[in-house]
Amino acid sequence: MTIQVEEVHNLVVHYINVLIDFSPKVISAALVLLVGIWGIKIFRKVAEQIMTKRELEPTVIHFISDILMWGARVLLFVTVISRLGIETTSFVAIFGAIGLAIGMSLQGSLSNFAGGMLIIMFKPFKVGDTIEAQSESGKVLEIQIFTTKILTGQNHIIYIPNGILSNGKIKNLSQKSTRRSDLIVRTSYDSNIKAVKGELETIVTTHPKVLKSPAPEVTVNELTDSTVNFAVRVWVKNADFQMVNSDILERSKNVVKL
């Protein structure tokens, strides 16, 4: 019985000594953890403020700040376990293998990610712009990390991969505040060409939404087998584009003869 008590006593003393020897490492690791968590929050806020001042897209700001935060967390984790005296080489190898596996499996997504970053850096368009790209036309709702979200005139949501979007032709219809409307108005050869041209000029010059400068133009564009085609070119504000087109075509119907 005495021997058992002595063994328990020795065991308790041993663990107490181990705890005393290990306590500085635990305290040091705890302090690093607390300071690290606080520092990561500050770092994230500062990074978001810098990116906001550079006018990056909100989606990209959130994504990059998340990457920075998780990267900092991994670094903090490695630092804390090293403070505890645990060998970190194996952890670094594991993280490296995981990163390699993810990179190999997401090659296509990485090209879309790179395309998204190019769009953000060079800004061929921004959220709210109306664009034509990849045979689609619509308003940009969101520039995501891998895709760009577009709302078409038919109220369809289109997701275009950023990889092909950044490498293709993009027509930004909103980058300028004004836009030229090119319309074709046809009339028959029986019509008085000069009279039709004069009435078309009256229509475009008196329209309240047509800009005076640059001045609107009405010219004979083409002589086909059965019609004389007039080119009507007017400058309007982007917001008035569709309405002005409709008005001019509607009013032109009363002056042409087919």
Domain boundaries, the chain: 2-105, 116-172, 178-252
More confident residue, 8 or 26: 26
pLDDT of residue 248: 94
Six token digits for residue 90: 């194996």
Q: Which CATH architecture has domain 116-172?
A: Roll (2.30)
Question: For residue range 55-65, what is the model confidence (pLDDT) as tens digits?
Answer: 776 767 776 77
Question: For residue range 137-191, what is the model confidence (pLDDT) as tens digits?
Answer: 999 998 887 889 999 989 999 999 999 999 999 999 988 999 999 999 999 998 8
pLDDT of residue 113: 80
Question: For residue range 85-142, what is the model confidence (pLDDT) as tens digits?
Answer: 766 666 666 666 666 655 555 566 778 888 888 887 788 998 889 999 999 999 999 8
DSSP codes of every residue in the chain: -HHHHHHHHHHHHHHHHHHHHHHHHHHHHHHHHHHHHHHHHHHHHHHHHHHHHTT--HHHHHHHHHHHHHHHHHHHHHHHHHHTT---HHHHHHHHHHHHHHHHHTHHHHHHHHHHHHHHHH-S--TT-EEEETTEEEEEEEE-SSEEEEE-TTS-EEEEEHHHHHHS-EEESSSSSEEEEEEEEEEETTS-HHHHHHHHHHHHHH-TTS-SSSPPEEEEEEE-SSEEEEEEEEEEEGGGHHHHHHHHHHHHTTT---
pLDDT of residue 93: 64
Strand order in the sheet with 227-237: 178-188, 227-237, 217-223
Which one of 1.20.1560.10, 3.40.50.300, 3.30.70.100, 1.10.287.1260 gives the CATH number of domain 2-105? 1.10.287.1260
Is residue 9 over pLDDT 70?
no
pLDDT of residue 95: 61
The letter for the amino acid at 146 is F
Which one of 3.30.70.100, 1.25.40.10, 2.40.110.10, 2.60.40.10 gives the CATH number of domain 178-252? 3.30.70.100
The verdict on pTM exceeding 0.85 is no
Strand partners, 170: 133
